[in-house]
Chains A and B, each alone.
Chain A
Amino acid sequence: MRILDVIDVGFNYGETLQVIDTASFYCNTREFVSIIGPSGCGKSTLLRIIAGLVEPAHGKILFTGKRVTRPTEGISFVFQDFALMPWLTNLENVKLGLAMKRMPEKEKEKISLELLESFGLSDFEDAYPNMLSGGMKQRVGIARAIASKPKLLLMDEPFSALDELTAEALRKEVVDLLKSKKSPIDSVVMVTHNVEEAVELSDRVVVLSDKPSMVKDIVKIELKRPRDRESKQFMEISDKIYAYLKE
């Protein structure tokens, strides 16, 4: 089933600077789609347009067939810089993700606690984000994003603020969570500048050109999971994407 349609979306910065020429792609149920492109090509902006945070210059976003013009229930977001409120405890931060849900506080608390536990953070629920490492902060950020069981999860370079070892561990955790049968998330669209990350996680990779950016290609990846970065096929696909980015 189609979850997301991005149709002829363009974006200009100010009057003159064209950032995104046109971009079109889609995302199906239980699909993981990555957007990759050179820095400054507007991929984070594209993700914000999908989220309804930023208005496109032209084109439209359809979420389960309905037009998105503002942040919508069912679409959630993981921020590159975590965007946790430093004055709220980790538990309260996760509970923010349920702000739109009409349910008793107790219930919200229960859901949030379970999520924190599933990310191995059950001892830190009353701590403040500032006391956590980067990897732990992003776990809280992801817990907040999935607390409301969104159909579509948008992730803006979620691992790029982390060191490589932490990022690797968290990537694995995220894949396990999202690809498990009981995952609350239907589909993921992730922005990244890391080719290996995109190939490791995605079912399809949308490659954008430099600005004003257009979709150069959409690379389908059907490698079996868990994927081996050392394997020949993995490297072939990576090389293909690198070649696009170097053009």
Chain B
Amino acid sequence: MVGIAGLLAQLIIDTSFSWIRMLVALFLSIIASIAIGILAARSRFAGRIIIPVLDVFQTLPILAFFPFVIYIVVATLPGYIGINAAVIFLIVTSMIWNIAFGVYESITTLPAEFIEAARIYGMSRLARLRKIFIPACMPRVAEQSVLSWAIGLFYLVTSEIFSTGNANYAVKYGIGVEITKLAFSGNLLYYLIGILVFIGFVVATRFLLFVPFEHYSTRYTEGKKKARRWTISLQLAKQASHEKTYHVHAAKLHMFTQHAYRERPAKRVQPTSKKRMSRFYAYMYAAVALIIIIALLVYNYRFLVGYESETAVALAVSFVRVWGAFAAILIVAVPVSVYLVFMAKRTSRYILLFQVIASIPATILLPIIALSLSGYPGHGEITAFLIFFLSGLWYVIFGIISNSKTISASILDVKKVFGVKGTLAWRKLYIGAIMPGLITGAVTAIAGEWNASIVAEYFTTTGISGSNVVSSVGIGIGKLLDLSLANGNIVLLITALINLTAMILIINTFVWKRLYRKVERTSV
């Protein structure tokens, strides 16, 4: 029993260290987001730069940049401080985009009368900030913080597990580290206790921190949802696991009242010239970024042909892996989501269960998956596949479910009245209805998979248990990033990052955004 008590104490201390990193990161993210969001909303010039940048960054798998950040930060700051700064910086980069978009949205949708009133009363800039802008954006800040926290946990655990790979930059205390140690102790019970303590912290944080925060910041408002855009619906997709109500089901309940049928989703506004301008700017930035990338690639080709070809091959292999796992995700997620959205009677119960499951970062399972598979042929590939699969699965399911609020309840009436059944119902009704949510979920899911690649493709624990590569694929971009950091090959590291980033931006622009616009055009 002493063993268990000691273990619990150890786990609580470790998780507390992790949570301190998270809280510091959340605090920094909120401050920075409020500044960035208000600036983008109030200054047309700043907005033209900030919004497209946020848009790009939130779809990038920033965890892949972790080896690079470590390289820079640990070189500058000594050991323990350096690695913690790197981890916190990384978590900030995962948290900041949602909150900043939330702030931007709250300020841009603020009635013009508020600002007119401020001018009439001669309020100073500081007074406007304190009395109008900050209170106005707090509800969304609170709402988005919940989501940022969940995403941050994934980054936290993954970066902690990653840090076990090298004694030079091990974070020493943290739940990700501890869970890896427990996995290596071979005691499955201890490992499970570790995960339970983690879940306990997640649930406690939700109730002790975020529920009061949301209550406080929304004390004077009624929650109102805003119109959707590409970036906003990405938010929604990520936010899904934190939605309290699911409107199709609400609508199902309310369909007995005439009132519900009067409540239609607001019609989407046609793009105004202002929006078209911002789209134009987005294109311009994309073009500039592309030129820089091409220039760098050309530079690479002239001087670094070897690195480039190595990176390209690794990227191609990882691409197949990530998209293969994505195909598997679709096979599971689409039927499950359709069931939850259209058929399940007590969806709210499943949602609660899903929320708990989804709050566990897939990478926390990596040590146990890798260890239990090790020795089997192809175990490296299977481990990578499983981690990719688990890292993306929830995003797709929640992307679809969160979007279901825009699905009209009349679809089910139409299905019943006209007797649309079987494959016809799937082809003509369900797939079309879930498409927008599926696309936004897919973008976040694939980003999640790439994020996991730095540990999923190459998992080593040299930092805590001597020389030890637990699980490794033959070749892959995640592995390449890890190895180039381990070998101190900064040029290869940067080459790999540029390639990865370019590929993701190209796919986002030419596949996802196009698909999304096409779907959006045909929706009411």
How far is B424's CA from A87's CA once the two chains are assembled, in angstroms?
14
Which residues does chain B contribute within 8 Å of A96, judged by CB atoms? 414, 418, 420, 428
In this assembly, does A237 line the interface, its C-beta being within 8 Å of a C-beta of chain B?
no
Q: Is the CB of B420 within 8 A of A99?
A: yes
Given known A43-B258, A44-B261, contact A86–B413 (CB-CB < 8 A): no
In this assembly, does B205 line the interface, its C-beta being within 8 Å of a C-beta of chain A?
no
Closest to A42 in B: B258
How far is B195's CA from A210's CA once the two chains are assembled, in angstroms?
57
Q: Is the CB of A86 within 8 A of B416?
A: no
Which residues does chain A contribute within 8 Å of B424, judged by CB atoms? 99
Which residues does chain B contribute within 8 Å of A234, judged by CB atoms? none
One digit per residue, 1 when the CB lies within 8 angstroms of any chain A CB and 0 when it does not, for chain B 237-272 equals 000000000000000000111110100100000000
In this assembly, does B309 line the interface, its C-beta being within 8 Å of a C-beta of chain A?
no
Given known A11-B256, A96-B414, A96-B420, contact A87–B408 (CB-CB < 8 A): no
Given known A83-B413, A85-B432, contact A45–B523 (CB-CB < 8 A): no
Q: Which residues of B in the span 384-425 have a Cβ within 8 Å of any Cβ on A?
A: 408, 410-411, 413-414, 416-421, 424
In this assembly, does A169 line the interface, its C-beta being within 8 Å of a C-beta of chain B?
no
Q: Is the CB of A85 within 8 A of B429?
A: yes
Which residues does chain A contribute within 8 Å of B413, judged by CB atoms? 48, 53, 77, 79, 83
Tally of contacts, chain A with chain B, CB under 8 A: 94
CB distance from A40 to the nearest CB of B (A): 6
Q: Which of B259, B408, B416 sits near A40, CB closer than 8 Å?
A: B259
Closest to A85 in B: B432
How far is B521's CA from A40's CA once the two chains are assembled, in angstroms?
34
Q: Is the CB of B420 within 8 A of A81?
A: no
In this assembly, does B524 line the interface, its C-beta being within 8 Å of a C-beta of chain A?
yes
In this assembly, does B23 line the interface, its C-beta being within 8 Å of a C-beta of chain A?
no
Q: Is the CB of A128 within 8 A of B258?
A: no
CB distance from B417 to the nearest CB of A (A): 4
In this assembly, does B435 line the interface, its C-beta being within 8 Å of a C-beta of chain A?
yes
Q: Which residues of A in the span 92-122 have a Cβ within 8 Å of any Cβ on B?
A: 92, 96-100
CB distance from A35 to the nearest CB of B (A): 12
Q: Is the CB of B257 within 8 A of A45?
A: yes
Which residues does chain B contribute within 8 Å of A79, judged by CB atoms? 410, 413-414
Q: Which of A40, A45, A81, A88 sits near B410, CB closer than 8 Å?
A: A81
In this assembly, does B522 line the interface, its C-beta being within 8 Å of a C-beta of chain A?
yes
Q: Is the CB of A54 within 8 A of B417?
A: no
* Segment touching B, from A22-30, A68-76, A179-187, A198-206: A68-76
Q: Is the CB of B522 within 8 A of A100?
A: no
CB distance from A98 to the nearest CB of B (A): 8
Q: Is the CB of B408 within 8 A of A97?
A: no
Q: Is the CB of B524 within 8 A of A86?
A: yes
Q: Which of B256, B264, B524 sits near A129, CB closer than 8 Å?
A: B524
Secondary structure dominating the interface of A: loop
Secondary structure dominating the interface of B: helix
CB distance from A103 to the nearest CB of B (A): 14
Q: Which of B417, B435, B522 sits near A71, CB closer than 8 Å?
A: B417
Which residues does chain A contribute within 8 Å of B469, judged by CB atoms? none
Which residues does chain B contribute within 8 Å of A53, judged by CB atoms? 255, 413, 416-417
Q: Is the CB of A87 within 8 A of B261?
A: no
Q: Is the CB of B521 within 8 A of A83?
A: no
Which residues does chain A contribute within 8 Å of B523, judged by CB atoms? 86-87, 130
Which residues does chain B contribute within 8 Å of A19, judged by CB atoms? 256-257
How far is B432's CA from A130's CA once the two chains are assembled, in angstroms?
14
CB distance from B430 to the nearest CB of A (A): 10
One digit per residue, 1 when the CB lies within 8 angstroms of any chain B CB and 0 when it does not, for chain A 142-174 equals 001000100000001000000000000000000
Closest to B410 in A: A83
Closest to B524 in A: A86
Q: Is the CB of A73 within 8 A of B419?
A: yes
How far is B524's CA from A83's CA once the two chains are assembled, in angstroms?
10
CB distance from B517 to the nearest CB of A (A): 13
Q: Is the CB of B261 within 8 A of A99?
A: no
Q: Is the CB of A100 within 8 A of B418?
A: yes
Which residues does chain B contribute within 8 Å of A44, judged by CB atoms? 258, 261
In this assembly, does A18 line the interface, its C-beta being within 8 Å of a C-beta of chain B?
no
Given known A39-B258, A40-B259, A77-B417, contact A83–B428 (CB-CB < 8 A): no
Q: Which of B261, B428, B521 sits near A81, CB closer than 8 Å?
A: B261
Which residues does chain A contribute within 8 Å of B408, judged by CB atoms? 81, 83
Which residues does chain B contribute within 8 Å of A87, judged by CB atoms? 432-433, 435, 519, 522-523
Closest to A147 in B: B418
CB distance from A147 to the nearest CB of B (A): 9
CB distance from A41 to the nearest CB of B (A): 8
Which residues does chain A contribute within 8 Å of B435, judged by CB atoms? 87
How far is B261's CA from A197's CA once the two chains are assembled, in angstroms?
20
Q: Which residues of B in the span 89-105 have a Cβ within 8 Å of any Cβ on A?
A: none
Q: Is the CB of A88 within 8 A of B432?
A: yes
Q: Is the CB of B522 within 8 A of A128?
A: yes
Q: Is the CB of B417 within 8 A of A76?
A: yes
Which residues does chain A contribute within 8 Å of B417, judged by CB atoms? 51, 53, 71, 75-77
How far is B259's CA from A87's CA once the two chains are assembled, in angstroms?
26
CB distance from A129 to the nearest CB of B (A): 7
**In the complex, which of the residues B411, B416, B421, B519 has the most CB atoms of chain A within 10 Å of its own CB atom?**
B416
Which residues does chain A contribute within 8 Å of B522, judged by CB atoms? 86-87, 128, 130
User: 28 A-B pairs, CB-CB below 8 angstroms?
Assistant: A19-B256, A19-B257, A40-B259, A44-B261, A45-B258, A53-B413, A53-B416, A53-B417, A54-B255, A71-B416, A71-B418, A71-B419, A79-B410, A79-B413, A79-B414, A83-B413, A85-B428, A86-B524, A87-B435, A87-B522, A87-B523, A88-B428, A92-B428, A96-B428, A99-B421, A130-B523, A130-B524, A156-B261
Nearest 5 CB-CB pairings of A with B: A87-B432, A83-B410, A100-B419, A99-B420, A44-B258
Known: A52-B416, A77-B413. 18 other contacts (CB 8 A): A19-B257, A42-B258, A45-B256, A48-B413, A73-B419, A79-B414, A81-B410, A83-B411, A85-B428, A86-B522, A87-B519, A87-B522, A98-B418, A99-B419, A99-B424, A128-B521, A130-B523, A156-B261
Chain A residues with CB under 8 Å of chain B are 11, 13, 19, 39-40, 42-45, 48, 51-54, 70-71, 73, 75-77, 79-81, 83-88, 92, 96-100, 128-130, 144, 148, 156
